[in-house]
A and B are shown apart, each in its own frame.
Chain A
Amino acid sequence: MTSHTQTATAPRDQLTEGEVVLTVTGLDVDIRTPKGVLRAVNNVSFEARAGRTLALLGESGCGKSMTAKAVAGLLDPVADVTGGTVVLNGTDLAALTPKQRLKYAGPELGIVFQDALTALNPVYTVGTQLGEAFRIHQGLSKKAAKVKAIELMRHVGIPQPESRVDSFPHQFSGGMRQRILIAMAVALGPRLLIADEPTTALDVTVQAQIMKLLRDLRTESHMAVVLITHDLALVAEEADTVAVMYAGNVVETGPVREVFGSPKHPYTRGLLDSVPADVGRGADLKSIAGSPPELHRIPEGCVYQSRCPLVQDVCRAIRPALEPEGTNRTVACHFSASSDTKELDNV
């Protein structure tokens, strides 16, 4: 325990690019529901490195947000982490008590949510909400915290921060609110920033602004960014590495260019084929048949078996483990070797 406290209070050393900031190993999250206990996140492992962006990619309900919340310690009361470790800068967050965790993870980990309007308290000014982190973690006075808040607002590109610091969240546009949320997340200079669908509610021109801001902040402080999204194109443009999730499991990881360039898992391949592009207008897209299984109907064996064109008996019996593929990739598929060849097209 003492070592944790020491780490938390130790002077902050500058991050070097590429250094591992977060290691998640074998994370399990269970949800208690009227229909029984469901496994929402199953044996999820990934790493986030300083100055890099890791994308957690998946469709709705695949457990990507649940994973992020588990890492940040923000799970709903009905959900529990039932296995695995979450190591942030050498400290296992899962082993900390909630109080220790708050003290340690508060400054070290920032999180940005999708819906900025509900993530901000409507009855406090943005200045108060931005200054709160400084007052709690650095014991600053109200006045000093406000000065810090103005500084932060300028940092994230909010015009006229001096006059807007006393405004309420609803007086800002969607893009500006998202900037405020980002400012709150990076206020204490975290080593890890989790961005959970940060631009899904925004228009594409504003999305470009927000992603540029996140990129700039990352370059500046070498923090690690975990970007959670369902948008393949966004991953292609913003992330260095990607972990593709399906039905609570990670099915493929690796550098974005390699994964998207030659996907090894049939699901990744199917997703990429589903993206509408100029493949002859009016031509059919190669869609994935069916829809993802509900949590209480996830089959034994491979999670993707019900929609997979390569499915065999072994897939229904044994769930494939995430195995290394080449130097820096992993895939959870019995037939990963064949899934990037012509065979898939012929099925």
Chain B
Amino acid sequence: MSKPPRNVNQLPTGGRAIAPPGTEAIALPRPDQADKRISLFHLLVKDRFATVAALVLVFVGLTALFGPTLMGDLATRQDLSATNRPPFSLGEGWAFILGSDSLGRSMVARLVVATQTTLSVALPAVGISLIIGSLWGVWAGYHRGIRETISMRIADVIMSFPSLLLAVVILYVFSPSAANIVLILAVTRIPIYLRTARAESAELQSRTFVDAARTFGTKPNAIIRRHVIPVVLPTLLTLATLEFCYVMLAESSLSFLGIGIQPPDVSWGLMVAQGRQYLQTAWWLSFFPGLAIVLTTVAANVLAAWLRIATDPAQRWRLTLPRKRMIVRIPAKEVQ
């Protein structure tokens, strides 16, 4: 417990507080201060779960970027003689390692192609609602008053309107293009971020360090940028990873209704939807795209939770501790 004292020899003994600069700072040598400057990457490598999550996301991202080119037309090549082949049989080559669908298409190839479609819908949808909802919510919460009230009522209206119904109406009127799907999903999910951002921002604007900024004459927008958003952002990012999952499933619901992604395009959600009727005979049709959704979401979530701690200066030290020492137990000694 007691380490040899450091630097005590250099301790200035002057009682005056102001005299030599740093009198107080030297009094308490903190040997671990150097550790706190470690880069985010170093911290990431130290955390096993976060590393795995990051690798999964990188893999998904690369697949979305380059996968479809590599697969060529494999994803659309039909082989009616080999429909609904079960997975894990190597007899037909690597393309059918995850089996084939009801038209004899390779599941692997379709999953890879679907990755791109899925991400190209979910990412912009989550991104747009995150940016608009957060900025709006932070603004409303900071200013309070009438701006807050009106914003919250608008959020209530969007929330209370069945979003699927809204989607159905709009997608029937306009064509069910990817852009329209993104737009619908983004608009209906804005209130989620709006509410969270407003609540946190309303609490933050009463903090003393915000008051301090006001006494300098700092403009509200600058205060929001400097003091509110950095604090609210980690929470909103965590929320966004959960929303990522929701949006993928919502997109599959739209696809199921026939107003989402239109075949021959394919997304994970659409694959789950299409595989549902074969669930008893060919479970792998829904299982693997479902697994892809779950894995991606969980990975994003783990990484967001890690990021939340890693970007918080007050929490970061937790990550620098060796895992085994997190729980220290000493035997409860009998007193005397």
Checking A270, A296, A301, A306 against B27 with a beta-carbon cut-off of 8 angstroms, the contacting residue is A306
Please encode chain A, from 327 to 339, with 1 for each CB lying within 8 Å of some chain B CB and 0 for all others.
Answer: 0000000000000
B13 with A36: CB separation less than 8 A: no
A94 to B11, CA, bound (A): 41
A34-B328, A305-B8 known; A289-B1 Cβ under 8 A: no
Please encode chain A, from 281 to 308, with 1 for each CB lying within 8 Å of some chain B CB and 0 for all others.
Answer: 0001011111101101111110001111
A293 to B26, CA, bound (A): 12
B326 with A32: CB separation less than 8 A: no
For the complex, is B150 an interface residue (Cβ under 8 Å from A)? no
A289 with B5: CB separation less than 8 A: no
Q: How many residues of A contact B (CB 8 A)?
A: 42
Please encode chain B, from 11 to 52, with 1 for each CB lying within 8 Å of some chain A CB and 0 for all others.
Answer: 111111100000110111110000000000000000000000
**Listed stretches A76-84, A112-120, A200-208; interface member:** A76-84
Checking B12, B330, B335 against A83 with a beta-carbon cut-off of 8 angstroms, the contacting residue is B335
With both chains docked as a complex, state the minimum distance between the C-beta of A52 and any C-beta of chain B, in angstroms.
27
Minimum CB distance partner of B332 in chain A: A80
A313 to B96, CA, bound (A): 77
For the complex, is B160 an interface residue (Cβ under 8 Å from A)? no
A305 to B10, CA, bound (A): 12
A291-B28, A305-B8 known; A297-B332 Cβ under 8 A: no
Contacts of B2 in A (CB 8 A): 298-300
With both chains docked as a complex, state the minimum distance between the C-beta of B323 and any C-beta of chain A, in angstroms.
11
With both chains docked as a complex, state the minimum distance between the C-beta of B224 and any C-beta of chain A, in angstroms.
34
For the complex, is B153 an interface residue (Cβ under 8 Å from A)? no
B336 with A95: CB separation less than 8 A: yes
Contacts of B23 in A (CB 8 A): 289-290
With both chains docked as a complex, state the minimum distance between the C-beta of B140 and any C-beta of chain A, in angstroms.
32
Grouping DSSP codes into helix (H, G, I), strand (E, B) and loop, the B interface class, with mixed when no group exceeds half, is loop
For the complex, is A38 an interface residue (Cβ under 8 Å from B)? yes
Minimum CB distance partner of B5 in chain A: A299
Contacts of B1 in A (CB 8 A): 36-39, 296, 298
Minimum CB distance partner of A293 in chain B: B28
Please encode chain B, from 187 to 215, with 1 for each CB lying within 8 Å of some chain A CB and 0 for all others.
Answer: 00000000000000000000000000000
B13 with A306: CB separation less than 8 A: no
Please encode chain A, from 34 to 73, with 1 for each CB lying within 8 Å of some chain B CB and 0 for all others.
Answer: 1111110000000000000000000000000000000000
For the complex, is A161 an interface residue (Cβ under 8 Å from B)? no
A95-B335, A287-B17, A289-B24 known; A32-B5 Cβ under 8 A: no
The residues in A between 22 and 42 inclusive whose CB is less than 8 angstroms from any CB of B are 30, 32-39
A311 to B8, CA, bound (A): 10
Minimum CB distance partner of B17 in chain A: A287
Contacts of A298 in B (CB 8 A): 1-2
A82 with B335: CB separation less than 8 A: yes
For the complex, is B178 an interface residue (Cβ under 8 Å from A)? no
For the complex, is B329 an interface residue (Cβ under 8 Å from A)? yes
A34 with B326: CB separation less than 8 A: yes
Contacts of A284 in B (CB 8 A): 16
Most buried by B among A95, A286, A297: A297
A82 with B333: CB separation less than 8 A: yes
Please encode chain B, from 300 to 336, with 1 for each CB lying within 8 Å of some chain A CB and 0 for all others.
Answer: 0000000000000000001001000110111011011
Contacts of A301 in B (CB 8 A): 5
Contacts of B5 in A (CB 8 A): 299-301, 305-306, 316
B326 with A307: CB separation less than 8 A: no
For the complex, is A241 an interface residue (Cβ under 8 Å from B)? no
The residues in A between 164 and 178 inclusive whose CB is less than 8 angstroms from any CB of B are none
Contacts of A293 in B (CB 8 A): 28
A290 with B16: CB separation less than 8 A: no
Checking A95, A286, A291, A306 against B8 with a beta-carbon cut-off of 8 angstroms, the contacting residue is A306
A206 to B332, CA, bound (A): 43
Contacts of B263 in A (CB 8 A): none
Minimum CB distance partner of A347 in chain B: B13
A301 to B17, CA, bound (A): 25
Most buried by A among B4, B11, B321: B11
The residues in B between 89 and 129 inclusive whose CB is less than 8 angstroms from any CB of A are none
With both chains docked as a complex, state the minimum distance between the C-beta of B10 and any C-beta of chain A, in angstroms.
11
A309 with B335: CB separation less than 8 A: no
For the complex, is A85 an interface residue (Cβ under 8 Å from B)? yes
With both chains docked as a complex, state the minimum distance between the C-beta of B3 and any C-beta of chain A, in angstroms.
7
A36 with B28: CB separation less than 8 A: no
Checking B3, B27, B330, B336 against A291 with a beta-carbon cut-off of 8 angstroms, the contacting residue is B27
With both chains docked as a complex, state the minimum distance between the C-beta of B25 and any C-beta of chain A, in angstroms.
9
A299 with B8: CB separation less than 8 A: yes
With both chains docked as a complex, state the minimum distance between the C-beta of B226 and any C-beta of chain A, in angstroms.
29
With both chains docked as a complex, state the minimum distance between the C-beta of A22 and any C-beta of chain B, in angstroms.
17
Most buried by A among B2, B8, B335: B335
Contacts of B321 in A (CB 8 A): 34-35
A287 with B16: CB separation less than 8 A: yes
With both chains docked as a complex, state the minimum distance between the C-beta of B314 and any C-beta of chain A, in angstroms.
14
Checking B11, B15, B333, B335 against A306 with a beta-carbon cut-off of 8 angstroms, the contacting residue is B11
B residues whose Cβ falls under 8 Å from a Cβ of A: 1-5, 8, 11-17, 23-24, 26-30, 318, 321, 325-326, 328-330, 332-333, 335-336
Q: In the complex, given contacts A81-B335, A297-B29, what are 11 additional A-B residue pairs having Cβ atoms less than 8 angstroms apart?
A: A32-B328, A34-B326, A36-B325, A36-B328, A289-B24, A290-B11, A291-B24, A296-B1, A306-B28, A307-B27, A347-B13
List 20 A–B pairs whose Cβ atoms lie within 8 Å, in order of A's numbering. A30-B330, A35-B321, A36-B328, A84-B335, A95-B335, A286-B15, A287-B15, A287-B17, A288-B15, A289-B13, A289-B17, A289-B24, A289-B27, A290-B24, A290-B26, A297-B28, A299-B4, A300-B4, A305-B8, A316-B8
- 10 interchain residue pairs of minimum CB distance: A290-B27, A299-B5, A94-B335, A300-B2, A287-B17, A309-B13, A32-B328, A289-B23, A286-B15, A37-B330
